[in-house]
Every structure is written in structure tokens, then in C-alpha cells.
């Protein structure tokens, strides 16, 4: 058995290496970028394609993904109407559109942001030493093989920098459109770097949509939030049904900064979110909430690492999954409290609602604590609708189907309504909750 795993993964690894050769020939990245690409490829070769025995991928079956012969997209065209349809109300003049991972200025409009926000390409931004060293460091210490593939193939990426003491009122939307491949599966590698300078504020909405099928979106987002700054990050995954979606979010929090993360997952063939946060100076706060509604064969996997590196930081996590038909959801979250990180407060809650016998829900909420004066808790549940609640609604004259619909919808709604951006809430009420309607 072990030999077959080794064989198939060897195949997948050499396919990536071959693809990378072609990528270097056709794209000819700048020397600075090329060095990063090469470093990342080296890291990829070290990490290797995961299999089920891999601790980080216990619940994620990457078999189909590893064997798919991915290519890179060269030309992609997209209708302006399609983009407009996916731009949220309020973001008409503050959105960036990435088509197959590449920023398309003609489909973007950032005029509402003013001069306080610098939007440029990462290829330019790495001339700044601090940006370059951070990228380099994260590539070298990469623990996620898919993120290292992203770094190996990144071409330009976007850099968003909010200047000191600027509270940006207009919400900024990043729209990731994947057009898919007609002849075979295509991989795209969106890369975003967000830097909030001290005392600044930004509301960032990242949406993933697909115009075609047969694609693998492999996204990485690095975020640095400096002293007293606040980043609100809303991520909506609404890819095509047979897409693979892997995204990694890395956030570094400085003194008294805040990160408020919200993730809504519509599900696809295979969705995996990897969120990693470092609370590296006292007073930092991290909030991460997520909801996913999965039907048919959809899959969604959450992998979370929160590092409490110093004292006096707080983190909250709350995730809810609704699983119907043969869908699968998993949650693998670890809170690490380092030595000396006293007065840490951390909690983590995962609720799974199982609506069918064929579905799967797996949880692994871990705590690793190396300090004694801390308050850490986690809870995980898997269950079905409460019979008492169903009975109550039925005594009020509601049919069983309607009663179930109300209860399942309100289960998801408890997270959705927390999202601090009305157009997303409205949209999710239409899309996610629609999946839960009776019949």
C-alpha cells in the first residue's frame, strides 16, 4: 500500500516540477521574483504531496487533485457584465478584479479608496526590503504544500497598503474569477499581500467565483496588521461546483491590533481553507468565524492554527457546518499558547449539523498550552435538529418540512448575520440558505 502512495505522489510531484519548468520559460519572472519562485519550489519538493496519513490532511482526500494534469492559463477573457454582477453594492468604485489570478485594471476601479490606499503589484513592492524579507520568511517556513505551489508559480500578485492613521470607509472588494479550462484542468495562483499601517482600518471582502468549470484555485493571502489597526476580512467562496479551492490566509498581528475574519463556504468538489494567525504583540485580538452549507458531494475542510506568542492576547473562533447528502466537512484547529504567553484568553467552538446518514463530519479541535495563567476552552458538537424545538414549531401549526427549514436556516444564520457587511449577508441569505429550503 505504501508503495502505491509513493508512486502516485512521485508522479504528481514530477508533474508540478515539469509545469514549473514551462512556467519559467514562458513567464520569465524578474530576478527577485525568480529567486522566490525557486525557493518555494525547493520547499514544495521538501513537503511533497500529502496523503491521508499526513497529519495535516487526515480528513482531506487529495487523491483526485494530485492525479489531475493541471496546466497554467495563458489568455483569459471575461465579460464586464459578469464582473459587475459579482461586485457588491457599495464596492462599485472600490473593487479589484483578478481573472485567473491576474489583476485586470480594466475590470477594476479603486477610485473610492483615495490616495490613502496604495494598490500595486507585488513584483514592484518587493523592492521594499521589509516586504521581501517577510515573503521570503514565509516561503522558507511554509508548512502547507499547496501554499508553496502558489509561491512557486506566483507572477505578480497584488500589494495593498493602507497608510498610517487612515480609516478607509469604502469597503474594498477583491473579486477572484476563475474561467476554467476547456481542454483540461487549470491551476490559478492568486496572491495578495495586505499591509495595514498603525491606526488604520480596512474592510476587505474577498470573493471567489467561477465562470467555467475544471479549475483549481490555489490562493494565498498574507496580512500584516500593525499597532492599533483593524482589518475586517470577509471571504466568500462561491466557486463552480466541480472546482478545487485551496486558500491560505496568514495574518500577523501587532500590539493592540484586531483581525476580524468571516468565511462563508458554498462548497465545491474540494474546498480547503488554511488559516494561520500569529498574535505577536500584547493586546492583539483575532476573531475567526465560519459557516458552510454543503449538499450532494461537496466538501469543505478547515485547517486553523492560532499562535499566542505573547501575553494578553485574545482569540475567538466559531464555526458552523451543515451537512446534507454525501457531503463532508472537517475542522482541524489548534490553538498554541507559547511559553510566557500569560493571560491569554482563547475559545473555539465547532457545531456540525448532520442532515443525512451519508454525510461525514470530522473534528479535531486541539489545544497546546505552555503557560499556566491562561483561559482556554474549546467545544465541538455533532448532532441533528433538536426534537423539542421541532415539536414546538409543529404545535404552532407548521409542517415538519417548514419547521426543519426554519431550524436549519437559523443554525446557519447565527453566523451569517454576524458578518459586518450587509450586501454579503443578503447574498448569503439568498445562496447559502436557499440550499436549505424545503425540498
Could you list the residues that contact another protein (CB under 8 A)?
A: 55, 58-59, 339-340, 342, 352, 354-384
Q: How far is the CB of 154 from another protein (least distance, A)?
A: 33
Tell me the C-alpha distance between 428 and 292, whole Å. Answer: 10
Q: Give the nearer residue to another protein in terms of CB position, either 66 or 353.
A: 353
Q: How far is the CB of 352 from another protein (least distance, A)?
A: 7
Q: How far is the CB of 395 from another protein (least distance, A)?
A: 23
HSE (CB half, 13 Å, CA atoms) of 191? Answer: 23
Q: Give the nearer residue to another protein in terms of CB position, either 170 or 355.
A: 355
Consecutive H or E run containing 36: helix 31-47
Q: Give the nearer residue to another protein in terms of CB position, either 48 or 104.
A: 48
Residue 123 near residue 156 (C-beta atoms within 8 A): yes
HSE (CB half, 13 Å, CA atoms) of 282? Answer: 6
168 Cα distance to chain centroid: 23
Tell me the C-alpha distance between 412 and 390, whole Å. Answer: 16
Q: How far is the CB of 281 from another protein (least distance, A)?
A: 20
Q: How far is the CB of 353 from another protein (least distance, A)?
A: 9
Tell me the C-alpha distance between 424 and 414, whole Å. Answer: 14
Full DSSP string of 215-237:
EEEEEEEEEEE-TT-EEEEEEEE
Q: Give the nearer residue to another protein in terms of CB position, either 59 or 278.
A: 59
Residue 308 near residue 340 (C-beta atoms within 8 A): no
Three cell numbers, residue 312: 494578553
Give the burial string for 40-61 (b: 16+ CB within 10 Å, else e).
bbebbeebebbbeeeebbebbe
Q: How far is the CB of 23 from another protein (least distance, A)?
A: 36
Q: How far is the CB of 308 from another protein (least distance, A)?
A: 12
Q: Give the nearer residue to another protein in terms of CB position, either 355 or 415.
A: 355
Q: Give the nearer residue to another protein in terms of CB position, either 374 or 428.
A: 374
Three cell numbers, residue 9: 505522489
Tell me the C-alpha distance between 269 and 292, whole Å. Answer: 14
Q: How far is the CB of 346 from another protein (least distance, A)?
A: 9
Q: Looking only at Cα atoms, what is the longest distance across the chain? A: 71
Q: Give the nearer residue to another protein in terms of CB position, either 21 or 375.
A: 375
Q: Give the nearer residue to another protein in terms of CB position, either 30 or 338.
A: 338
For residue 357, count other CB atoms closer than 10 A to its CB: 7
Q: Give the nearer residue to another protein in terms of CB position, either 137 or 358.
A: 358
Tell me the C-alpha distance between 395 and 392, whole Å. Answer: 5
DSSP 56: G
Of 391, 395, 377, 319, nearest to 353 by C-alpha is: 319
Q: How far is the CB of 305 from another protein (least distance, A)?
A: 14
Consecutive H or E run containing 46: helix 31-47
Three cell numbers, residue 123: 513584483
Q: How far is the CB of 362 from another protein (least distance, A)?
A: 5
Q: Give the nearer residue to another protein in terms of CB position, either 101 or 359.
A: 359
Amino acid at each position: 500500500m505504501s508503495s502505491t502512495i509513493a508512486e502516485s505522489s512521485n508522479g504528481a510531484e514530477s508533474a508540478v516540477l515539469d509545469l514549473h519548468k514551462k512556467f519559467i520559460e514562458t513567464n520569465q519572472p524578474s530576478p527577485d521574483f525568480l529567486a522566490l519562485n525557486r525557493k518555494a519550489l525547493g520547499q514544495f519538493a521538501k513537503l511533497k504531496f500529502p496523503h491521508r496519513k499526513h497529519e495535516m490532511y487526515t480528513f482531506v482526500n487529495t487523491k483526485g487533485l494530485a492525479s489531475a494534469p493541471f496546466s497554467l492559463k495563458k489568455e483569459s477573457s471575461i465579460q464586464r457584465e459578469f464582473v459587475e454582477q459579482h461586485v457588491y453594492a457599495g464596492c462599485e468604485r472600490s473593487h479589484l478584479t483578478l481573472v485567473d489570478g491576474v489583476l485586470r485594471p480594466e475590470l477594476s476601479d479603486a477610485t473610492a479608496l483615495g490616495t490613502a490606499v496604495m494598490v500595486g503589484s507585488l513584483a514592484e513592492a518587493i523592492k521594499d526590503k521589509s516586504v521581501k524579507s517577510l515573503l521570503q520568511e514565509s516561503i522558507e517556513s511554509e508548512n502547507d504544500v499547496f501554499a508553496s505551489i502558489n509561491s512557486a508559480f506566483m507572477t505578480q500578485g497584488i500589494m495593498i497598503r493602507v497608510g498610517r492613521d487612515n480609516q478607509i470607509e469604502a469597503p474594498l472588494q477583491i473579486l477572484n474569477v476563475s474561467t476554467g479550462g476547456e481542454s483540461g484542468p487549470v491551476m490559478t495562483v492568486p496572491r495578495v499581500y495586505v499591509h495595514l499601517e498603525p491606526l488604520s482600518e480596512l474592510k476587505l471582502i474577498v470573493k471567489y467565483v467561477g465562470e467555467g468549470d475544471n479549475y483549481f484555485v490555489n490562493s494565498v493571502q498574507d496580512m500584516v496588521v500593525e499597532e492599533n489597526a483593524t482589518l475586517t476580512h470577509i471571504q466568500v467562496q462561491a466557486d463552480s461546483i466541480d472546482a478545487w479551492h485551496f486558500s491560505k490566509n496568514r495574518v500577523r498581528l501587532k500590539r493592540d491590533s484586531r483581525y476580524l475574519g468571516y468565511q462563508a463556504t458554498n462548497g465545491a468538489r474540494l474546498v480547503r481553507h488554511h488559516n494561520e494567525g500569529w498574535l505577536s504583540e500584547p493586546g492583539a485580538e483575532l476573531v475567526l468565524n465560519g459557516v458552510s452549507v454543503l449538499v450532494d458531494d461537496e466538501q469543505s475542510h478547515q485547517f486553523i492554527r492560532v499562535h499566542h506568542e505573547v501575553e494578553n492576547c485574545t482569540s475567538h473562533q466559531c464555526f458552523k457546518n451543515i451537512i446534507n447528502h454525501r457531503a463532508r466537512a472537517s475542522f482541524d484547529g489548534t490553538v498554541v499558547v507559547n511559553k510566557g504567553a500569560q493571560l491569554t484568553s482563547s475559545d473555539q467552538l465547532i457545531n456540525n449539523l448532520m442532515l443525512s446518514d451519508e454525510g461525514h463530519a470530522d473534528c479535531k479541535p486541539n489545544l497546546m498550552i505552555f503557560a499556566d495563567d491562561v483561559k482556554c476552552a474549546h467545544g465541538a458538537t455533532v448532532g441533528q435538529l433538536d426534537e423539542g424545538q421541532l415539536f414546538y414549531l409543529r404545535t404552532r401549526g407548521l409542517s415538519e418540512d417548514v419547521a426543519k427549514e426554519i431550524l436549519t436556516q437559523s443554525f446557519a444564520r447565527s453566523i451569517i448575520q454576524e458578518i459586518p457587511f450587509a450586501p454579503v449577508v443578503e447574498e448569503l441569505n439568498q445562496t447559502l440558505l436557499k440550499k436549505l429550503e424545503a425540498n
